[in-house]
Structure 1
Amino acid sequence: MILSVDPATGTELARFTPQSTVDVEVALDAAAGAQAHWRTLDVTERVGLLRELARVLRAGKEKYARLITAEMGKPLGEAEAEIEKCAVTCEHYAGQAATYLADRPIPPDSVVVHDPLGVVLAVMPWNYPFWQFFRFAAPALAAGNGIVLKHAGNVPQCALAIADVVRDAETPEGLVQVLLVESGAVAGLIADDRIAAVTFTGSTEVGAIIAAQAGAALKKQVLELGGSDPFVVLADADVPAAAATAVKARFVNGGQSCVNAKRFIVEEAVADEFVREFTAAAAALEVGPLARENLRATLHDQVGRSVDAGASLLLGGKPADGPGYFYPPTVLDHVTPGMAAFDEETFGPVAAITRVADADAAIAMANRTEFGLGAALWTRDLARATALVRRFEAGAVFVNGMVASDPRLPFGGIKKSGYGRELGAEGIREFTNTKTVWRGPGSTSFAPSVLRPADLPAHNRGGGASTVPLVTRAIGARAFLNGTTHFEGGAGIPLHTHNCPESVVILEGSAIVEIDGVEHHLERFDTTYVDAGTPHRFRNASTTEPMRILWTYASVEATRTIVATGVTTRVDAEHAKVSQSG
C-alpha cells in the first residue's frame, strides 16, 4: 500500500493500491509507441508542449502548492515558488531547445547531431516533488524522449497531480506515464527493453543500487545524489551578509535539499562574529516539520553523536513535542572531521560550523568529504576567488551567494554526489545520442554545396580584420552560415555574443580567444566552440604574421551583438540580407 501522510500532524491523507503488472505493461507500451512518433517531430514543434505545461502549472499554482505542503511539509510560499520555477524552466527550454540541440558542423566534412534516446525512466524524490520532475522532463521532452515517472512513495498525490498537468497540457497520449508502484518494481522497469535510460535523484545509497541495475542493462544514467555542501567564509568576507545568506542556504525547504549548505567552514578571525549572527537569525526561524518520522530520528541521532564527540550545541537539538515530525533549527559549533555532522549528510535543519586557520585550510576542509555537489565561497577579493574556485571539488561553486539551480546552468555533482548533468545545454543533451555524421566525397546525399550570396560581400570588421561570409548546405539537410575572417598582425575583434552556437577552426597562424572571461591560446587546426549568448573575441597572437579563422554558426539567421556598444548585426543568409540596429 502507498500512503500519503501529513508530516505536520502524522495523520493519513490517502492510500493507494500499487498498479498491477498488467497496468505497467500497458503504460510502457503506450510510452514507447508515443515516443516513436514524438521523436519524428522537429524540436520547434515539440517545444509548444513546454509552453502549455508552463501555462497549466501557473494556472494551478495555488492548488499544486497546497498539495506539496500537505504531503511533504514545506511552507506554502516555498511550494508556490517551486511551481513557478517549474514553469520558468519549461519556458526556458521552449525558447532555447532548438539552439541547444542545433546540429554542430565540424568543417569541412562532418556534423554532430543530437537524437533522442527513447523512453527515460525517472525515479524521483519527495523533497521537491514537482521541481525534480519538471527540471528533467522539460529538456527530455524537448529532445524527443518519452517519460515514465516512478515518484517517491510518500508523495503519491503530487505524482497524480503531475499526471493531471501533463493531461491538461494536451501532451500526446501515452508520452508521459506516471506509475504508482512500490520501490521493488524499479529493477524490473530498468531492465525492460522499452526503457532506454534512467535518471535518479535521491540518496547515495539508493543511487548506487540504481547505477548497478542500469549498468547491468547497459543503460545511460544521470544520478543526482547526496551532498554535504561547504559554505566557506574567509576573513575578508562581508560577514553579516554571509551569515544572513547562510541561514537561508541551510534552512530553506526545512534543510531537506541535496544542495543545502550543511558545513559552514569559517576562518577563525571572523568565526565568533559569524556564529553570533548566524545563531541569532536561526533562532528567529519558525519551526517546520520534516517529511517523515524516520528522517527526524536519523537527524537527531546525528546531532547526538556529534555532541558526544565534542561538538558544542548552541541552538535546538531536541525534537519538538506533540504530533507531527517537527525538529527545531539546530546549530553545532566546533564540528570537526570524524563527527557525524561533518562526515555524513544531515538532511534537515542542522548546521555544522567548523573553524579553520586560513583559506588553504578552509578549502582542504571543504574537500574533506565523500560528496561533491555544490559549494559557496565568501570573500571580498574576487581576483583571489577566481583562483580559489578551481580548487573546490564540486559540481558548482557560488561566490558570495548560496548554491541554487538555474535552468540556464548545468547542475550536478562529482564523487558520491553522482554524475551527469541536468539543466542548461548539458542537461538537454544528456538523454540524446550525440551522433557524428561524416560526409564522404562519394556520398551524394550529403554532398555539401557552398553559396556566396551576392548581397553579402566581404566587409571590413575594423582593426585590421575582414570577413567573408558563406552558406554551406548539405543536400537534403540544414544550411549553416559560415565564413572566414582574416586578421592582420596584432589585429582583433571586440567582445561580442551570438544568438546561436559557433564553431571556430584556426586555419592559419595562432590566436588568442577569450571566452566568457577566460583566455585560451589556439594554434593552427585547433578548434573551439562557443555557446549562444557567451561573450567572446578573437585576436591575432602574432604582431607580424597574419591569422585566419573559419567560423560556423548553427543557424542561417544569426546575430552578432557588440558587448560594449550593444550594436547588433543580423545576417539572414538564406535570403542574403544584412541589417544593423542599436
Structure 2
Amino acid sequence: MIRSVNPATGEQLAAFDPDSAQSIDERLTTATVAQARWRQTPVGERTELLSRLASTLRERSGELALLIIQEMGKPLTEALAEIEKCAVTCEYYAANAIGFLADEPVRSTASQSRIVYDPLGVVLAVMPWNYPFWQFFRFAAPALAAGNGIVLKHANSVPQCALAIAAVLHAAGTPEGLVQVLLVETRQVATLIADDRIAAVTFTGSTEVGTIIAAQAGAALKKQVLELGGSDPFVVLADADVQAAAETAVRARFVNVGQSCVNAKRFIVEQAVADEFVDAFCAATDRLVVGDPLDTTTTIGPLARADLRDTLHDQTRRSVEAGAKPLRGGEPVDRPGYYYQPTVLDHVVPGMAAFDEETFGPLAAITRAADAADAIRLANLTEFGLGAALWTGDPERAERYSRELAAGAVFVNGMVASDARLPFGGIKRSGYGRELGPHGMREFMNTKTVWVGPATAPESECLVVRPDQVELFDRGNGVVTTPYVGSWNSAHNTVTTGTTTFAVGTQIPLHSHNVEESVLIVRGSAVAVIGGDRVELRAGDATWVPAGVPHHFVNVGDDELVIYWVYGGRAVTRTLTETGVTVAHLSDRDRGAVATASK
C-alpha cells in the first residue's frame, strides 16, 4: 500500500494500491508507441507543449503548492516558488531547445559530415519527495523537447503530487501515453530498469539507493544520470563580507527545512572572522519561524517523515557527544508532526557525524579553519562533491580557489542553487551526469556522427546575403534595423542577426524579448539600460541581455551608433514595457507598436 501522510500532523491523507504487473506492462508498451511518434514530431511542436505546460503550472499553482505542503511539509511561499521554477524551466527549453538540438557541421576537404542528436527512447525517472514537482520537470522539460518518452516512479510519500503531475501533463495536451506515471513499490524498480522498453534511467536521491540503481542499470547497459547526496561546504574567507555571508548562509542551510542535496551543510570559516560569523549566523537563525507550513510567516515546517527527524537528532546527539558545541536548538519540537528545532553546532571537526555525514534537515555545522588553504582542505575533506559556496572579496582568490574546490558547481559570494541555464550535477559520491542547460538535454540523446562522402555530399547553400535582398525596418525617430535571418543546418535551427543604426540621441523604447540576445557595439558609443542597470559602452564592447529582461540602448555619442545583435531560436517576440504590447519581432505590427509607443 502506498500512503500519503501529512508530516505536520502525522495524519494519513490517502492510500493507493500499487499498479498491477499487467497494468505496468500495458503502459510501458503504450509509452513506447507514443514515443516513436513523438520523436518524429517537429521540434517546434514539442516546444509548444512546454509553453502550454508553463501556463498550466501557473494556472494551478495554488492547488499544486497545497499538495506539496500536505505531503512533504514545505512552507507555503517555498511551495509556490517551486511551481513557478518549474514553469520558468519549461519556458527556457521552449525558447532554446531548437538551438540545442541543431545539427553541428564538421567540414573537411574529404567530407561534409555532421553531428546529430537523436532521442534515446523512453526514460525511467525515479524521483524524490523533497521537490516533488521541480525534480520531475527539470528532467522532463528537456527530455520531452528532445523527443523522449517518460515513465515516472515517484517517491511513495508523495503519491498525490505524482498524480497531479499526470493531470498537469494531460491538461497541457501532452500526447496520450507519452508520459506514464506509475504508483509502484520500491522493489518493482529493478524490473522496470531491466525492461527492454526502458532506454535509460535518471535518479535523484540518496547515495545508498543510487549505488543500487547504478548497479541495476549498469547490468542492463543502460545510460544513467545520478544526482545523489551532498555535504556542501560554505567557505567564508577572512576578506569576505561576513555579515552578507552569514545572512545568505542561513538561507542556504534552512531553505526547504534543510532537506535538499544542495543545502549548505558545513560552514567552514577562517578563524580570524569566525566569532563575527557565528554571532551573525545565530542572530539570523533566531529570526526563523517554526510553525504551520500553510502560514505565510512560517520559514521552518516539519521534516517530511518521522525517520528523517529521528536520524537528524541522532546525528546531532553524536556530534555533541564528540565535542561539538550546541549554540541553538538540538531537540525535536514538542508538537504534533515531525518538527525539529533549527540547530547550530560550533567547533565541528572531521570525525563528527555533522561533518562526515549528509545531514538532511535543519542542522548547521560550523568548522573553524586556520587560514584559507586550511578552509579549502576541509571543504574537500568529504566523500561528496555536489556544490560549494566560496565567499571572498578578492577576485584572484575567487578564481584560484573555485578551481581547487572539488564540486560540480561553485558559487562565489552566493548560495548554491539550480538554474535552468546552468548544468547541474556532482562528482564523487554525489553522482554523475548533468541536468539542465544544453548538457542536461543531451544526456538522454544519442550523439550520432553522420559522415557524408564527397560523392554524396550536396552542394553547400551559399550564406551570402546581398544588399538588395535585405528589408530595412525604419522604426522612426532615426532608428533603422537591418535583419538577417538564416537557417543553419536544419529548418529548425533559425538564427536571426542584424544591425540597428541610431541617429544621435535616439533610442528604441524600453522592451524585452522572449529569447536571449547578444549585442556588439560596432560604431559609436551608447548607454545600455538592462534590467534597471545602466552601463556605458563603446565600439568593440559586447553585452548580453537575458530573456525577459527589459532593456534599451541610447546613442550618447556625437556620431551614429551601430549595434550588431544576435537571437537564437524561432518565434521571437518583443514586449513594449510602457504599453505591455507583445508582438512578433521584426513584423509590421511590431513596427507599428514601436511607432505608437514613441510618440
TM-score by length of 1: 0.80
SS in 1 for 2:426: coil
Q: Is the 8 A contact 1:449 1:473 kept in 2?
A: no
Q: CA deviation at 1:472?
A: 10
Distance in 1, Cα, partners of 2:567 & 2:247: 48
Match of 2:450 in 1: 437
Match in the other structure for 1:390 = 403
2:248 aligned with 1:245: yes
State whether residues 119 and 446 of structure 2, in contact with CA within 8 Å, keep that contact through their aligned partners in structure 1: yes
Tell me the amino acid that sits aligned with residue 57 of structure 1: L
The 2-side partners of 1:60 and 1:169 are apart by 11
- 2:71 aligns with 71
Supply the distance in 2 between the matched residues of 1:300 and 1:470 (Cα, whole angstroms).
61
How far apart are the structure 2 equivalents of 1:472 and 1:306?
61
Match of 1:361 in 2: 374
- 2:436 aligns with 423
Contact 2:516–2:567 under 8 Å retained in 1: no
Residue of structure 1 in register with 2:532 after alignment: none
Q: Which amino acid aligns with 2:378?
A: M
Secondary structure of residue in 2 paired with 1:567: strand
- How far does residue 104 in structure 1 lie from its aligned partner after superposition? 1.1
Alignment-derived partner of residue 230 in structure 2 = 227
Partner in structure 1 of residue 575 of structure 2: none
Q: 1:447 to 1:440 in 2, by over 3 A?
A: farther
- The answer on whether the counterparts of 2:193 and 2:217 sit within 8 Å (CA) in structure 1 is yes
From 556, 565, 568, give the equivalent of 2:564: 568
Which amino acid letter does the alignment assign opposite residue 81 of structure 1?
Answer: A
Distance in 2 between residues matched to 1:229 and 1:32, nearest whole Å: 39
Q: 1: distance between equivalents of 2:495 and 2:97? A: 19
Shift of 1:454: 4.3
- Residue 282 of structure 1: SS of its match in structure 2? helix
Return the letter of the residue paired with 1:347: F
SS of residue paired to 1:158:
helix
Structure 1 distance, partners of 2:468, 2:414, is: 46
| Residue 514 of structure 1: aligned partner | none
In 2, distance between residues paired with 1:405 and 1:481? 27
Contact 1:449 1:472 in 2 (8 A): no
Kept in 1: contact 2:517–2:567 (CA 8 A): no
Structure 1 segment 120-131 matched on structure 2, within 5 A = 120-131=123-134
- The answer to whether the aligner puts 1:194 opposite 2:197 as a matched pair is yes
Would you say 1:154 and 2:167 are equivalent positions? no
Amino acid at match of 2:439: E
Residue 9 of structure 1 aligns with an amino acid whose one-letter code is T
**Residue 255 and residue 451 in structure 1: after superposition, are their counterparts in 2 closer, same or farther (change >3 A)?**
closer
Give the 3-state SS of the residue equivalent to 2:114 in structure 1: strand
CA distance in 2, matches of 1:128, 1:378: 27
1:311 Cα offset (Å): 0.6
User: Take 2:567 and 2:67, find their aligned partners in 1: how far apart are those partners?
Assistant: 49
Q: Deviations over 1:87-117 (max 9, x none)?
A: 0000000001011111111223221111100
* SS of alignment partner, residue 271 of structure 1: helix
2:140 aligned residue: 137
What residue in structure 2 maps to residue 50 of structure 1?
50
Kindly provide the amino acid, as one letter, of the partner of residue 440 in structure 2.
G
Other structure's SS at 2:419 match: coil
Find the aligned partners of 2:494 and 2:450 in 1 and give their Cα distance. 15
Please say if 1:314 is aligned against 2:327: yes
Letter in 1 for 2:76: L
Tell me by how many angstroms 1:571 deviates.
11
CA RMSD of aligned residues (A): 3.0
- For residues 122-521 of structure 1, the aligned pairs below 5 Å read 122-287=125-290, 288-444=301-457, 446=458, 448-450=460-462, 452-455=464-467
5+ unaligned residues in a row in structure 1: which ranges? 458-468, 483-497, 502-536, 539-560, 573-577
Residues 470 and 179 from structure 1, CA distance in 2 versus in 1: closer, same or farther, beyond 3 angstroms? closer
Letter in 1 for 2:432: Y
Displacement after TM superposition at 1:71 (Å): 0.3
**Using the alignment, how far apart are the partners of 1:199 and 1:473 within structure 2?**
32
The 2-side partners of 1:266 and 1:328 are apart by 23
Deviation at 1:27, TM superposition (A): 1.0
Residue 320 of structure 1: how far off its partner (Å): 1.5
Aligned equivalent of 1:80: 80
Counterparts in 2 of 1:362 and 1:135: CA distance versus 1, 3 Å: same
Calculate the TM-score normalised by the size of structure 2.
Answer: 0.78
How much does 1:443 deviate? 1.9
Secondary structure of the 2:289 match is coil
Alignment of 1:109-124 (within 5 A): 109-124=112-127
The answer on whether the counterparts of 2:102 and 2:492 sit within 8 Å (CA) in structure 1 is no
> Percent identity among equivalent residues?
67
Hey, what's the Cα distance between the residues in 2 that align with 1:56 and 1:471?
Answer: 33
Identify the residue that residue 550 of structure 1 maps to in structure 2. none
| CA distance 1:292–1:432, shift in 2 (3 Å) | same
Q: Equivalents in 2 of 1:19, 1:84: separation in Å?
A: 30
CA shift for structure 1 position 60 = 0.4
Q: How far 1:568 sits from its partner (Å)?
A: 2.2
User: 1:57, 1:341 → 2: CA distance?
Assistant: 37
Cα deviation 1:375-407 (Å, max 9, x = unaligned): 001111123211210111001111111000110
Could you report, residue by residue, the CA deviation over 1:438-474 in whole angstroms, capped at 9, with x for unpaired residues? 1111225x554546454499xxxxxxxxxxx999988
Q: Give secondary structure in 2 for the equivalent of 1:265.
A: strand
Q: Provide the secondary structure at the position in 1 that maps to 2:156.
A: coil
What amino acid maps onto 1:194 in structure 2? R
User: SS of the counterpart of 1:377?
Assistant: strand
| Mapped contact 1:452–1:470 kept (Cα < 8 A) | no
1:19 matched residue in structure 2? 19
Distance 1:62 1:473, change over 3 A: closer
Q: In structure 2, what is the Cα distance between the partners aligned to 1:125 and 1:292? A: 13
Cα distance 1:350–1:479, how it changes in 2: closer, same or farther (>3 A)? closer
| Alpha-carbon shift at residue 283 of structure 1 (Å) | 2.2
Amino acid at match of 1:396: A
Pairing 1:89–2:92 present: no
Matches of 1:279 and 1:268 in 2, distance apart?
17
Q: Does the aligned pair in 2 maintain the 1:228–1:344 contact within 8 Å?
A: yes
d(CA) in 1 for partners of 2:566 and 2:125?
A: 41
Give me the whole-angstrom Cα distance separating, in 2, the residues matched to 1:129 and 1:409: 21
- Partners of 1:456 and 1:413 lie apart in 2 by 52
What code does the residue aligned with 1:232 have?
V
Query: Alpha-carbon deviation of 1:322?
Result: 2.9
